[in-house]
């Protein structure tokens, strides 16, 4: 019986295999490295953008619920609205600056004119005929 139990245990235990690499792994790795090298050369010269688009596609995940699906649309609408408001504000600011410049010029002219009128209206002093010696 002890022999039968030991045989059963030996049969139930998985066989231990030594770590062995696949015979074609080295060749496959060399091919992959060569392909990667060629792709990098193409990217450096600007010929291939396939890997860049693949990376972008991997980064973008599918939205999980309805809120995430509409987020891009809502965010785009809000961004567009804020840009329109900013343009309106810039136009208004530009108009007001121009108006200020124009008003500043007219005010300077009016001020100069009024100073000249005051100067012309003042009586001129007569020179005295006698001198103090």
Q: Is residue 59 part of a domain?
A: no
Q: Is the pLDDT of residue 85 over 80?
A: yes
Please indicate, yes or no, if residue 105 is contained in any of the structural domains: yes
49 located within any domain: no
Assigned domain for 10 exists: no
The answer to the question of residue 79 being in a domain is: yes
Residue 32 lies in a domain: no
Structure confidence at residue 95 as a pLDDT band (50, 70, 90) = very high
pLDDT value of residue 126: 63
pLDDT at 90: 94
Least confident range from 45-54, 83-92, 111-120: namely 45-54
Helices (H), the chain: 2-12, 25-45, 50-59, 66-121
Residue 80: give the domain boundaries.
70-118
Q: Is residue 12 part of a domain?
A: no
User: Which residues, in sequence order, are CB contacts of 11 under 8 Å at separation 6+?
Assistant: none
Q: Residue 108 falls within a domain, yes or no?
A: yes
pTM of the model: 0.34
Evaluate if residue 22 carries a pLDDT over 60.
no
Number of structural domains (the chain) is 1
In the chain, the percentage of residues whose pLDDT exceeds 70 is 65
């Amino acid at each position: 019986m002890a022999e039968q139990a030991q045989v059963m245990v030996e049969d139930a235990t998985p066989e231990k295999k030594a770590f062995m690499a696949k015979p074609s792994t080295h060749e496959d790795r060399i091919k992959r490295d060569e392909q990667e090298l060629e792709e990098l050369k193409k990217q450096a010269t600007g010929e291939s953008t396939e890997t860049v688009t693949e990376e972008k596609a991997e980064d973008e995940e599918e939205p999980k619920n309805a809120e995430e699906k509409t987020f891009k649309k809502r965010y785009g609408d809000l961004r567009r609205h804020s840009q329109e408001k900013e343009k309106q504000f810039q136009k208004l600011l530009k108009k007001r600056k121009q108006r200020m410049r124009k008003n500043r010029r007219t005010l300077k002219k009016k001020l100069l004119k009024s100073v000249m009128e005051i100067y012309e209206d003042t009586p001129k002093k007569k020179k005295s005929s006698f001198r103090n010696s």
